[in-house]
Amino acid sequence: MLSSATRRKGQVAIEVLFMTAIILTGIVILVPSYLDENRSSTLITYVKSSASSACSYLNSGVTADSQPYSILNPVIEKSNYTSRNFMVSSISSSESGDTITINIQVRYSGKVDLDNDNIAKAIQDFLVRDLLDHTNARMEGKTIYYGGKKVLINVNVVGA
């Protein structure tokens, strides 16, 4: 016959195993959704920072041959190497299924001899190149993927 001390140890061992199973089940359920949300937030934060870097470069009025900044050189050249006070005025994102859409609006003052669509395209190309060069994003065809999700980056440029 088992002593009551042995039975208590067995009971405690079973209770510990049961609590461990509950904790591990919670981790398995919660962690993937947390990581997925964290991945999206990281992407949006990176794109916002990259857009701010693009604006700072455009405001410098000086061109450089290094990638991805050289993508923005035509905008600086068309603004006669003068600062136009480019700034990110808004950023928003939405997620639908396996697609993350990031919308960025950039404002500037003064006149640039390029239409706003060409400036937006240059900034968008800069953002894509920077994202591919400095994160684990990848491009398949003309589509960007980050963390298994398709990424769409839309840039709108508005002159003041």
11-68 per-position pLDDT tens digit:
777 888 878 888 877 777 766 665 555 678 888 889 999 999 999 999 988 888 888 8
pLDDT of residue 36: 58
Distance of CA 108 to the CA centre of its chain: 23
Output the pLDDT for position 10: 72
pLDDT value at 156 more than 90: yes
Backbone dihedral angles phi then psi of residue 141, each to the nearest 5 degrees: 70, -120
CA angle 124, 116, 44 (to 5 degrees): 30
For residue 68, is the peptide bond before it cis, meaning its omega torsion is within 30 degrees of 0? yes
Report the DSSP beta bridge partners of residue 105.
90, 156
List pLDDT tens digits, range 88-140. Answer: 999 999 988 889 999 999 999 877 777 899 999 999 999 999 999 988 899 99
Structural domain including 53 reads: 4-159
The predicted structure's pLDDT at residue 1: 54
Distances 97 to 100, 128, 141, 150 between C-alpha atoms, Å: 8, 21, 20, 9
Domain count for the chain: 1
